[in-house]
Amino acid sequence: MRPAVLMFIIFCVSAAYAENYNNYTLPTYSSKSGSWLTLEGANDILMPHINLDMPEGKWTYPYDYYPVYTRNQNISGTFFGTSRMAGSTIGVAVLKLNTSSFQEALKELYRLETLDKVEPTKFISIFLNGTGIGHFSINGQASGLYALLVVDPKKLSVMSALPMLVTDDGISVESPSKATKNETLKVKIKVLQGQRNISRKFGTAIVTLETYRATSINASSNSSKERMTSTIRIENESLKIVGEPKISQEIVDQILPILPVDSALALAESNGTESEMFLMHDGDWKPGRYVLTCGVYSNNGLGGINQKIIEMV
């Protein structure tokens, strides 16, 4: 599983259904119909601005976050329907998306209008009580990218869809919640579950919250993998990637020069289940809030991802 392909698909899953939502406040997914969905136990990751320009249409990712679960972790949530839905039955389906090709994943999204055009890996029925509320719990799924669908079982129509990432490993991040402006940040990443004694790449990056929210990724395509173009823009700097996105040392080397001054990145490789890295600044950190993002990747795919906010004082 290519991590960059995975990330780009995450960015567009709900974009295809942007018209079905008017607000998103963690951990609630709202729709124009007046119903909403809450997820429990998910690790929510802050997202940059994502824009897609494809032959089938233009989309902007409508949420600030996306939910991440670990392999075999139960996916639980509550659906809050309108009063007119009280006493009715709805369906919740889990659909696994293609992560080997960004173009193929997009084609899968176009089939989400009706359930009879897709093959969900899991489908359960939920009875809504007298106030239109129903709880659900789905057994843990294998690692991969999924769409969680709320459907009308009578019409087989998809009422709403949201992205859901399942990673192989749960990871924990140890770092100070507050740091001084001249401090070198020590970050320790631990793999909590998953295979032992395999080669893993550990990575951590920190940028100001202001910079993170101003970061954008724009992707365009004419349905040809070779002619797909993605542009990563960080403040006034940008990087253009031609072809389907995939992580490589070359891409990492190209991103480093466009990182702003108040940022840092560290990479390490280990056969163990943990790694310590240090984030250093040439001068002093600017006071304020920073987003620390940590991830683990192996030949099996994206093992885990986590974030936390650090206050520089």
Do the beta carbons of residue 81 and residue 90 sit within 8 Å? yes
Quote the CA–CA distance of 162 and 175 in Å, as a whole number: 31
pLDDT at 80 over 80: yes
State the pLDDT at residue 9. Answer: 43
Nearest Cα neighbor of 296 from 172, 147, 142 is 172
Round to whole Å and give the CA distance between 191 and 47: 23
Tens of pLDDT along 101-140? 555 555 555 555 555 556 677 889 999 999 999 999 999 9
| pLDDT above 80: residue 73 | yes
User: Please, what sign has the CA dihedral across residues 262, 255, 205, 272?
Assistant: negative
3-class secondary structure, 211? helix
Encoded tokens for 105: 């994943």
* pLDDT at residue 219, as a whole number: 80
Which has the minimum average pLDDT: 38-47, 148-157, 200-209?
Answer: 148-157
When comparing pLDDT for 196 and 116, which is higher?
A: 196
Look at phi and psi of residue 252 and say left if phi exceeds 0, alpha if psi is from -120 to 50, else beta: alpha
The CA R_g of the chain, rounded to the nearest whole Å, is 20
Domain extent listing, the chain: 3-167, 171-229+259-312
230 has a pLDDT exceeding 90: no
In one-letter notation, the amino acid at residue 53 is D
DSSP 117: G
Per-residue pLDDT at 5: 43
pLDDT tier for residue 15 given thresholds of 50, 70 and 90: very low
Cβ atoms of 37 and 79 within 8 Å: the answer is yes
As a CATH number, domain 3-167 is 2.60.40.2840
CATH number of 171-229+259-312: 2.60.40.10
Q: pLDDT: is 195 or 168 the higher one?
A: 168
Return the structure tokens found at 256. 């480093």
| pLDDT tens, position by position, 148-170 | 888 888 877 777 777 788 888 88
Cis peptide before 27 (omega within 30 of 0): yes
**Other beta carbons within 10 Å of 107:** 12
